[in-house]
């Protein structure tokens, strides 16, 4: 693995950080309202080229390699304080666009990818169900083929971006097929009859629960062949776990710089608080966690870029980076003392976003279980 960045990669990373600082932090309080979706910021990201980063140029995307995409998403996390927006970007890029690239028909790719990349459409994925939780592919939503369409019945929840989503990739099971071969994936457009919003979950990135009740989906909207749902999910998850925490690296870098600056200027008992070992040790630990997380994320992205298996590396990157982000967020608040607990400081927002990272795309417990299984236990 080459550790030095090319001139182009450095310039892209700097440009993305500058873009995020200048464009993506307006009206943060209003964007935190339940169900709010930052459409203006989303479209600004599309104009900058974020949504198209990992999509091949021949399909209308930016054609960036995975490691370059990770670097740009890291810069976005550094410059943008709205991690809900970044979560929505990740959800579309890794969970919908790349499956379309890998499994979509030319007609499906032409119908969706250009408009997803341009910001005209917003995409999401619906896997989780009541009672399934971390057993993501314990799918109870049923799909029954009837002539030229499927009837889907079931409930999906915690769908990132769903309040604004124009197309949702829904996973459902055909009970007539055995095991994992029963699961297929379907592209469902917003406004499809009997695809109904049940409730809105109040989170940093807007999420919905939806119900499908005899929802008719044309057979041409199935993504990949029948029974390919598990392969589609697994393929997307390896990229997602390798790359989704890139923005956390940027957030931890920003936290570290903020804490160093504060520790140098804030005085107590006649000296800067950075001179006290209790503060200095926390700053040193923040640096260690950041650099270790960065190496794990870069390694997983590099392996994915080379087309090499990266299941263990992706799980390790996701596990370590999320837990490192939580601890660094706690250290950041404690270094700032009482001020760190105020909304004015903006540090508590980082902590809420960091805690969420230990749950989505597989909980920390799931990552540990996966790693121990791959180690032969």
Question: Would you name the residues annotated as active-site residues?
Answer: 240
- Between CA 39 and CA 89 the distance in angstroms is 12
Residues 6+ apart with CB under 8 A from 129: 138, 139, 140, 141, 154, 155, 156, 157
- Between CA 374 and CA 367 the distance in angstroms is 11
The token pair at 119 is 């910001």
Beta bridge partners, 184, equal: 172
- Between CA 124 and CA 87 the distance in angstroms is 11
Residues 6+ apart with CB under 8 A from 125: 91, 95, 96, 159, 160, 168, 169, 171, 236
Q: What is residue 151's three-state secondary structure? A: strand
Buried b (16+ CB within 10 A) or exposed e, 271-292: eebbeeeebeebbeebbebbee
Helices then strands, counting H and E runs in the chain, come out as 13, 10
- Between CA 99 and CA 235 the distance in angstroms is 8
Instruction: Output the CA torsion 10→43→241→253 (10° steps).
Output: 50
Buried b (16+ CB within 10 A) or exposed e, 45-55: bbebbbbbbbb
Q: Is 150 left (phi over 0), alpha (psi -120 to 50) or beta?
A: beta
Q: What is residue 173's three-state secondary structure? A: strand
The token pair at 163 is 């309040």
Q: What is residue 259's three-state secondary structure? A: helix
The β-bridge relationship of strands 167-173 and 183-189 is antiparallel
The β-bridge relationship of strands 123-126 and 167-173 is parallel
- Between CA 141 and CA 111 the distance in angstroms is 25
């Amino acid at each position: 693995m080459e550790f030095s960045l090319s001139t182009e990669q450095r310039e892209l990373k700097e440009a993305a950080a500058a873009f995020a600082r200048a464009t993506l932090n307006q009206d943060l309080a209003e964007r935190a309202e339940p169900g709010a979706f930052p459409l203006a910021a989303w479209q600004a990201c599309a104009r900058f080229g974020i949504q198209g980063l990992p999509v091949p140029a021949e399909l209308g995307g930016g054609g960036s390699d995975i490691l370059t995409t990770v670097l740009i998403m890291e810069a976005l996390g550094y410059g943008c304080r709205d991690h809900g927006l970044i979560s929505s970007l990740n959800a579309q890029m890794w969970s919908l666009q790349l499956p379309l690239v890998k499994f979509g028909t030319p007609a499906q790719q032409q119908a969706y990818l250009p408009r997803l990349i341009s910001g005209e459409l917003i995409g999401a994925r619906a896997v989780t169900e009541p009672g399934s939780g971390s057993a993501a592919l314990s799918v109870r939503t049923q799909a029954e083929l009837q002539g030229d369409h499927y009837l889907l019945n079931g409930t999906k929840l915690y769908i990132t971006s769903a309040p604004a989503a124009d197309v949702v990739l829904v996973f459902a099971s055909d009970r007539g097929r055995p095991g994992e071969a029963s699961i297929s994936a379907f592209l469902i457009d917003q406004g499809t009859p009997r695809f109904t919003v049940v409730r809105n979950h109040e989170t940093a990135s807007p999420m919905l629960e939806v119900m499908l009740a005899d929802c008719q989906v044309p057979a041409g909207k199935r993504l990949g062949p029948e029974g390919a749902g598990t392969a589609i999910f697994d393929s997307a998850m390896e990229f997602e776990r390798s790359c989704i925490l890139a923005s956390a690296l940027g957030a931890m870098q920003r936290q570290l710089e903020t804490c160093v600056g504060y520790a140098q200027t804030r005085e107590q008992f006649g000296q800067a608080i950075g001179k006290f070992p209790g503060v200095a040790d926390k700053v040193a630990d923040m640096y260690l966690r950041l650099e270790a997380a960065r190496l794990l994320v870069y390694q997983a992205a590099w392996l994915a870029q080379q087309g090499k298996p990266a299941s263990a590396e992706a799980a390790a990157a996701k596990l370590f980076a999320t837990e490192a982000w939580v601890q660094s967020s706690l250290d950041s608040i404690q270094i700032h003392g009482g001020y760190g607990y105020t909304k004015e400081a903006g540090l508590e927002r980082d902590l809420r976003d960091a805690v969420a990272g230990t749950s989505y795309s597989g909980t920390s417990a799931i990552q540990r279980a996966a790693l121990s299984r791959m180690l032969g236990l």
